[in-house]
Amino acid sequence: MDANIGEPFHLASYGVTQRLNKSKAGKSSRPSANVFATHEKFASGSSDGYVTVTAQGDGVHVLDLSTLHPVISHTLGPSTSFSCPSVTLNAQEGPQNTYTTYAAIASSADVSAEDCGRTIWKWRENLSSNAEDRASQKKKAAVMPHPISELYACNSIPPRLVVLSPAGDLTVVDADLKIQGTVPPPPGGTAILKSFVFPRESSSFLSGLSSSTVIVLLEHHSQDATTSFRILDVSGDGEAREVVNTKIPVKSDQIANVSCSPSGYLSILTRDGIWNSFQIESKSDGISVYSAAQPLQLAPKSFTFLGKPTDASLDEEISILALNTSLVLLAGMTSSPSRNIVLLIWDLQFSVLLASHVLAIPSTHSQLPKLSITLRFITATSPQALLILSSPASHAQAKSTTPTRSNVLVVPLTVPLMSTIGNAMGRAAAGAQWLVQPNATDTLGPSRAEVLAAVQKSMADNQPQAAEKAFFDWEKSEQGPGGEDAGSAEAPQPVTLGHSFVRDLLTALLQPAKPSNTYSSVLVRHLLQRRVVSASMVDGGNLLAALKLRHDWTSIELCTTTVTDLSEADLMFILQHVAQHHRQTTGATDAMDLDPPTLGAIPKLPTFLNACVRYQTAPAAMRAAMHQYLTQPEDVVAVLEVLDGWVARWKIAQVVTLPPKTSLRKDDHGVVVLKDGWQKDPTEYPPLMKVLSFMQTTLDASFLALLQHTPAHPILHKVLSRIEPEIQLTEQIDLLRGPLELFARAQAKAVRDGKEGKKEQVGDWRQRRRLAHERQAMAVDRVYQLEELVL
């Protein structure tokens, strides 16, 4: 499944007032954003779940994601602010569904100054009740023993809440806000950077724990700016305990954002653009955190958050969200060429970009100097994400008297179920514009970078001999033991070249813009003979076409035996030129070649066609390539004449039906088998099955054109006369399939028993004989099987 990001659509928007900055709450408990949003997927109710939106100076609103309409609203007025996102719990009470909403109050006229930032309000409503009953429901308040920075709803049985403080305190409360368990913060002065809460059944990175909820905390140590990683678990009765506390090698004052997936894949993005990946894993000796992939380096001018001061908030102009395994969604703001919001799905395990989408900044935010961006995952019927755009709370009205609004958007996503190499293949260049491109020294090493630079300079100066000397001198110096020592018992070890190094060498050697004499066929053939060349190393994969521009026909022939990924189109492109040359030379035997190629003669048609027939290709792709290049019926006729000649030679060839004794051997288990390659195919023409398969593909692609071309009719009749007897012979030989299959099965069973050992027979000889008679009685002419069905 390919990843994709759909067009975001609007869910809700709310205004921002100036009174937020003048709240009586302490500085530490003031909100960092103007709008929060969370999503809960319930077993009943909306199929896509409910989104709980917390708007500063407005209230708490619960929206149905299926209908995009509000189902619960608690308007609290401009004097009320919130410490963190509000959450909603669902409880099934008989036939009725009751929804309970919880909000952490940072400041309000109804809350005393000392309780601001520590108070939770609770509303309980039955959606099936009438409006009057719902309006009569009063809120319940509870004061926590510490300030509140995060509030998480756990839809376990029984449901409960997890309350976190900025310093790392944890309190577990039930649905009625009664405290069930607490965990004090670690000593030494810490602050929570990011927190994640997972149900135990979905947190696959932990094993051996009987908890119902797993809490992952990333904490900042103010004394030395180090980062610690802490895991806590909550048992079924609400008791909480610390499982692990360890350090992570990332400076906490440089962290811009953090993500963590239920599989334990933790990614940390720093303000200098380095994106680190860690894997949390449970082992027999405890829980460990280790680096899971090579860090990504974002380009310096790709996003506006890069280089921001360390006191900026985590969700300022950047947000990352774990989707599954190592797939992460990034939302950031760009400044060049214009201010936009970019959504990117990255696979951090393979460092590739899977999908991207550019979103224009809404007009209500276009004049703001800073923008808060937050992502929340939606576990709906199809993957989605909440994208919350708002001005930071301290910049809401800093430079403008025009009221601003905060927007909540829904982003449709198409995401693979997990990270796979198949989804990552071919995507290496997709994210090039967002990443720092490594130089040759970083990717190749100093010695390879030096020789590559020497080859590039020599080719640019039209000195291919100097390029050859530089490369072969380097290869000689890099060889292992025994290179020049005549008395050494060890053979020279071939130098490992590497994909990137060979690709850069080919780019320097195959330069279409340069004159044909600026080319080193010696180096190209050396790389081909080493079998290190891939067609994908050339732009478009047209390696043979690039070699044809240099008239290097010897290397073209060599490619058909040393390169494994030649495309069908590339083969047919060369075959068309070879067939055309074949017709010209056979039609005018006294013609003079005024401009013979300097790097080998054009191969004869049977020679190159033999290579094409033997090469591993796909029939559908080959038909398309023939449609594209073998457009002249004369070329197709020339090809068919060669194929027909091979079929004629196979008709008179001797067929070995019984292998001689010299071709038999015993394998490691003492079973008599045939020697590998006991029947060698002739090298001057391909095997019959490959010839017939290629002939069928040629006729499928060109039959209509050949019917309209009168000179092609004789060869078509000749092909028919060759094929019809073969079909009759095949039908006669096919009758031997049944009798001979017994011997083939016996041989296969002997080989299998030799490898696995002969299995002991179950039961005595009487039971086995009765079972054999029953099986024989059920067989009808050894073709059909009779079964009895009793109802």
Compare 396 and 386 and report the one with higher pLDDT.
386
Distance of CA 19 to the CA centre of its chain: 47
Picking from 164-168, 367-371, 448-452, 633-637, which range would have the lowest pLDDT averaged per residue?
A: 367-371
Q: What pLDDT, on the 0 to 100 scale, is given for residue 737?
A: 81
CA dihedral sign of residues 574, 575, 576, 578: positive
DSSP state of 83: S
Mean pLDDT computed over 487-502? 70
How do residues 289-334 score in pLDDT, each as one tens digit? Answer: 888 888 999 988 888 888 776 665 666 788 999 998 899 999 998 8
Q: What pLDDT, on the 0 to 100 scale, is given for residue 27?
A: 47
Indicate whether 495 pLDDT > 50. Answer: yes
Give 353-357 contacts, CB < 8 A, sequence gap 24+.
353/427, 353/430, 353/431, 353/434, 354/2, 354/3, 354/327, 354/416, 354/423, 354/424, 354/427, 354/430, 355/2, 355/3, 355/4, 355/5, 355/414, 356/5, 356/430, 357/5, 357/6, 357/7, 357/8, 357/411
Q: What is the bridge-based pairing of β-strands 50-55 and 672-674?
A: unpaired
Q: What pLDDT, on the 0 to 100 scale, is given for residue 443?
A: 61
Q: What is the 3-state secondary structure (H, E, C) of 361-382?
A: CCCCCCCCCCCEEEEEEECCCC
Q: Where are the alpha helices (DSSP H) in 65-199?
A: 131-136
Give the integer Cα–Cα distance in Å for 164 and 144. 10
Compare 376 and 613 and report the one with higher pLDDT.
613
Q: What pLDDT, on the 0 to 100 scale, is given for residue 576?
A: 95
Picking from 507-516, 527-536, 570-579, which range would have the lowest pLDDT averaged per residue?
A: 507-516
What are φ and ψ of residue 555, in 5° steps? -70, -30
Domains and CATH numbers, the chain: 4-434 (2.130.10.10)
What is the chain's Cα-based Rg? Answer: 37
How do residues 68-110 score in pLDDT, each as one tens digit? Answer: 889 899 988 888 999 999 999 887 666 677 889 999 999 999 9
